[in-house]
Structure formats: structure tokens, C-alpha cells
Amino acid sequence: MAPRRRPVHIRLRRLPRMGDELARLWAHDIWVRLGVTVAAALLLAALLRSVAYAVLRRLTRRHPVAAGMIDRASAPMEWLMPLLMLVIALRMLPEAATLGPVVVLRRLLTIALVAVATWLAVRCIGALEEAALRRYPVDVADNLRARRVATQVRVLGRTADILAILLGAAAILLTIPGVRQLGASLLASAGVAGLVLGLAAKPVLSNVVAGLQIAVTQPIRLDDVVIIQGEWGRIEEITGSYVVVRIWDERRLVVPLNWFIENPFQNWTRTSAQLIGTVFLWLDYRVPLAPLRGELERLCRDAPEWDGRVCVLQVTDANERAMQLRALVSSVDSGRNWDLRCRVREGLIAYVQANHPDALPRWRGEMEPAAGRPAPPGGPILPAQPGTQQSPSPEDGGPRR
């Protein structure tokens, strides 16, 4: 037979005694009160976090921007609520201020709370920035407005990140008593200290101000084609302190933000990406211009880079040896215009070589034999010396139009 189990009886007479014991420990032992308070704060934090997530996800179900912000803020929110409850719980026990470890713990928790709040602010700014960039994609044909919005969002977002981090660092430093005393002493001698700090922070502050000016006035935007110090490239990235320009040969030019405010530069896509390119040729006076204009029109019609706006051949200069011809051709952007100019230049040179080889520039002169010496039969022949051809476009290093 199986052994008979004895029923377990809880003596109700011991419950009041246990309650009195717990009350005595709560009244006379500060560590018990501290442990119970911390445990209750952590439990309350977990409960509030679960309820907050459920409510926020339900409210943002039909709002993708808010839902994206909640997703980006989930990591700092995991730490924010427990830290907040712990700081509140420790401040609810005034007698805990007499314990050295608790004072240090309270200060560390306050610093961690400010750091997590700063982290949360930066993540929320990033979520808003991503939402704005998704609404205005730049990978479309007519992306002028999208690039304008993307530039404003990027620059303002970086500036807001810097301000949030600076405010968070200042709040953390103010929680340390020694730093507060140092700040008071600096305020007492604000003349010299302010001058020194202003000079030390001039590069940072100038870049912040330049970032705000670029965001508002927009002398440059993302994917703009610019000429900086003779380098042709596109604006690839705009940060809070510098701009990255992607050069045509895959190099990267890093330029401080304030440089764009203090120095002149060329922006080929300020209002539109359309561009007119030039092709210069030096030819002899005997070349007929009408067939050459017809060949230029044929080359433009057959070129996929031509946008149908401009196709002109003009005589722009002449000297004692040859005349200068300038062909103007247009394209929808600078990249296609470069290819079109190369195509037109090669086509016109091939046409002249095939149909008018005697129309290349040459020297003309008459040589007389010296006294007492017969002239060579046929006379001297001078080699043709064509003039130097230069493109007026800045990326070729030639003169501007």
C-alpha cells in the first residue's frame, strides 16, 4: 500500500508574526527597504513598458512614419523605462542619501538616464529623416525637388543630432558637482574664458552655422554637379561638418561646410541639369561651311545623348592661318553632354579627313633664294601646323565660354 500523505496545514497564528517581522525589518533595515523598492521599480518598469508598446503599436498601425519611429526607438526605450523607475525609486528614499554606495549608484543611474534619453532623441531624428527621404526618392529622372528636400533633411538632421548630443553631454556634466563648480567659476570670469572657448570652438560653430545656411539657401544639394578647385564631381554626402564630392575618376574630395559659404564655386545643376557643350576646331579658310553644318546636324540626330535643343556651328575666330569653328550641342545632363561632345568632335574630324583633307590648317609663305644660291626645285614645303584646340568647358581645363 502507498504511504499515506500527511496534509500540510498553515497555521494562521503565524501570519501576524511574519507580518510583524517584515514590518520590523522594513522599519529598521534600510537595505531591505532599498531592495524592495528597487524590485518594485523594476517590476513596474516592465509593466509600463509592455503597456506602452501595446498602446503605441495600436495607435501607429495606420501611420507608417510613427511606426518607423517606434521601431527605431525600441532599443533605447528598453533601457529608458527601467532607468527612470530606478532613479525615481532611489529618490523616494531620503535616508538612502546617507549610504555612500547608493549615492554613487544614484549619480551613475542619472548619467545613464540622460545618455539613454540623448540616444532616444538621436534615433527619433534619424527615423524622421528616413521617412522624409523615402517620401522623396532621388532615383528618378526629374529629381530636382527630391534633391532639394534630401539636402535640407540631411543637413538639418545632422545639425539636430549635434545639438542633441551637445545638450546631452552638457546635462551629464552638470550632474557632477565638481563640473558645476567649474562652470560657476567660468561664469565668474566670463570675459577671458568666453573668448578662449569661442576661439577653440570656432571651427565647430562655423560648420554648424554653415550647415544651417546650406540647408536654408541651398547653394549645393545632393547629387549636384560642381566644379571645385578645377575638379569636376558630384555631391555624394553632406554631413554636419564636411561635404564629400565624388570626382569623375572615383576619387573623393572632402570639403568643409564653411568653404562653400566663403568661396566661389560652379554648380552645373543649380536650377536644371541641362547643359550646352562646345566643340572647337581650327580649319583652313577653304573648308565649305554648309556641308560641315549638315554633318553636325546628322551627328546630333544620330546621337542618343542629344536632347534636340541646340545644334549650332559658328565661326568664332580667325587669324592669318586658319579660322576657328565652334559647335554648340545640348544634352539633358553633364555626363551625356561630355559623351556627345566627344562624339561630335570625332565625327567632324573624320568628315574633314575623308571629304576635305586639304582644309586642315597650314602655314603659307613664299621663300626667296639667297643671293648667289639657286632655289630648290618646287620650292620649300612648310609642314602644316594646326593651332592648339581647347575646349571651353572647365572639366577640360580650357577657357570658359
Q: In this structure, are 39 and 183 located in the same domain?
A: yes
Burial grade of 79 (CB within 10 A; 0-12, 13-18, 19 or more): middle
Instruction: Please list the rounded mean pLDDT of every run of 10 residues in the chain (401 residues).
Output: 51 52 56 70 79 76 74 80 79 65 78 88 85 74 71 80 83 73 52 51 69 80 87 86 88 89 87 87 89 92 91 90 92 90 93 86 69 56 46 46 39
Greatest Cα pair distance, the chain, in angstroms, is 154
321 neighbors 387 (Cβ within 8 angstroms): yes
Sheet holding 266-267, edge to edge: 252-256, 242-247, 231-238, 225-228, 266-267
Residues 161 and 295 in one domain: no
**Domain count within the chain:** 2
End position of a domain, from candidates 165, 189, 213: 189
Task: Measure the CA–CA gap between 88 and 342, rounded to whole angstroms.
Answer: 72
- Whether residue 178 is contained in a domain is answered as yes
43/174 same-domain check: yes
The letter for the amino acid at 48 is L
pLDDT of residue 297: 93
In order, the DSSP letters of 168-208 are HHHHHHHTSHHHHHHHHHHHHTHHHHHHHHHHHTHHHHHHH
User: Does 145 share its domain with 279?
Assistant: no
Residues 130 and 32 in one domain: yes
* Pair (56, 170) in one structural domain: yes
**What CA–CA distance (Å, rounded) separates 320 from 376?**
26
3-class secondary structure, 118: helix
Give Cβ neighbours of residue 40 (< 8 Å, ≥ 6 apart).
Answer: 89
pLDDT given for residue 141 in this prediction: 62
Other beta carbons within 10 angstroms of residue 81's beta carbon come to 22
Q: What pLDDT sits at residue 42?
A: 77
Cβ(255)–Cβ(228) below 8 Å? yes
Say how far apart CA 112 and CA 117 lie, in whole Å: 9
125 in a domain, yes or no? yes
pLDDT score at 384: 46
End position of a domain, from candidates 189, 213, 238: 189
Q: What is the pLDDT of residue 40?
A: 76
From 121, 155, 189, give the residue that closes a domain.
189
Residue 369 Cα distances to 374, 377, 382, angstroms: 6, 11, 15
Domain encompassing residue 74: 17-189
Asked if residue 160 and residue 23 are part of one domain, the reply reads yes
8 A C-beta contact, residue 272 and residue 331: no
